[in-house]
Structure 1
Amino acid sequence: MSYLLRTLTKKQEVDELIRDTLDKVLVLRFGRASDLVCMQLDEILAKSAQELSKFASVALVDVDAEEIQVYVKYFDITIIPATIFFFNAQHMKMDSGTPDHTKWIGAFYRKQDFIDIVETIFRGAMKGKMIVMCPLPPERIPKFELLYRNI
């Protein structure tokens, strides 16, 4: 399904998309097209993209691309897939009860979960919020143990 969505491999492409996506939520999935969980997530993103097209744009970012490493480091992407949200070039955060509010780690359980999250981020952004509460029940939020090195 990843062939249905634009894949970015250059820092300049990501920069331009973040800068030029106005009045819409920009959804960037960082991962690999060959990864099983990424494939599952890409299918949900591709099926939702048309439905969300009035207020969201979706793109895939190849974490193995050399130029993308600056973003991989900046957003501390250690587990893939990681989905990051922007609105008018502002990084949108979401409190989902996990230690990391900067990104969604893993796939969504179903298409409607993804749609609900994008709608919540859009509504929050329209009210000037930079962080929103996750609309999903805790059992539908993937849990990951974050390992901190050098502590």
Structure 2
Amino acid sequence: MDYLSTTLTKKKEIDSIIRDTIDKVLILRFGRSTDAVCLQLDDILVKSARDVSKFATVALVDIDSEDIRVYVKYFDITFIPSTVFFFNAHHMKMDSGTADHTKWVGAFHRKQDFVDVVEAIFRGAMKGKLIVNCPLPPERIPKYQLFYKDV
């Protein structure tokens, strides 16, 4: 469980982990530890942490912390859990066939799906890409309805 001991509650903690995570994918899970889907995702993150530890770092972000509202707003985190990926301080995006390429919304169906996504982001980042294609089949990508304000 020590792989996931990092829960970030302050903007400066997020700033510094983004800045200081070099040559690894940084995975930030925005959510709350009381949410059932967050717990399902966290279980997958814990089980996968050792498998991805050579090329990725996982941190949990407490969405209810007042100090991180700027990130919640910036990444438009409306649904939880939402997972955002970085590589060498660059926001990594993924085309998974949804309208939003900036984050993964929901839990992964299984551990291997998460590992495959992180590997795809890492490989793409090593080639200098800022957006990668999702390696998962469409039926294993969570579906959700995007609501746009003022449209």
Which TM bucket (shorter chain)? over 0.9
Shift of 1:4: 3.9
Q: How many residue pairs are counted as aligned between the two chains?
A: 151
Q: Which residue of 2 aligns with 1:105?
A: 105
> In structure 2, the residue corresponding to 1:114 is in which secondary structure?
helix
For the 8 Å contact 1:7–1:60, the answer to whether it is kept is yes
State how 1:87-126 maps to structure 2 within 5 Å: 87-126=87-126
Hey, what's the Cα distance between the residues in 1 that align with 2:59 and 2:4? 10
What's the CA shift string for 1:9-51, capped at 9, x where partnerless? Answer: 0000000000000000000000000000000000000111111
Shift of 1:3: 9.1
Gaps (5+ residues) in structure 1?
none
Shift of 1:80: 0.3
What's the CA shift string for 1:25-82, capped at 9, x where partnerless? Answer: 0000000000000000000001111111110000000000000100000000000000
Identity among equivalent positions (%) equals 73
Q: Which residue of 2 aligns with 1:35?
A: 35
Hey, what's the Cα distance between the residues in 1 that align with 2:85 and 2:102? 8
What's the CA shift string for 1:71-119, capped at 9, x where partnerless? Answer: 0000000000000000000000000000000000000000000000000
Q: Which residue of 1 aligns with 2:55?
A: 55
Hey, what's the Cα distance between the residues in 2 that align with 1:71 and 1:124? 24
Counterpart residue identity of residue 135, structure 2: P
Q: Which residue of 2 aligns with 1:79?
A: 79
Hey, what's the Cα distance between the residues in 2 that align with 1:102 and 1:116? 17
For the 8 Å contact 1:2–1:39, the answer to whether it is kept is no
Q: Which residue of 2 aligns with 1:66?
A: 66
> In structure 2, the residue corresponding to 1:22 is in which secondary structure?
coil
For the 8 Å contact 2:4–2:59, the answer to whether it is kept is no
Hey, what's the Cα distance between the residues in 2 that align with 1:17 and 1:3? 15
Counterpart residue identity of residue 20, structure 1: D
Q: Which residue of 2 aligns with 1:7?
A: 7
Gaps (5+ residues) in structure 2?
none
RMSD: 1.3
Hey, what's the Cα distance between the residues in 1 that align with 2:3 and 2:68? 19
> In structure 1, the residue corresponding to 2:92 is in which secondary structure?
strand
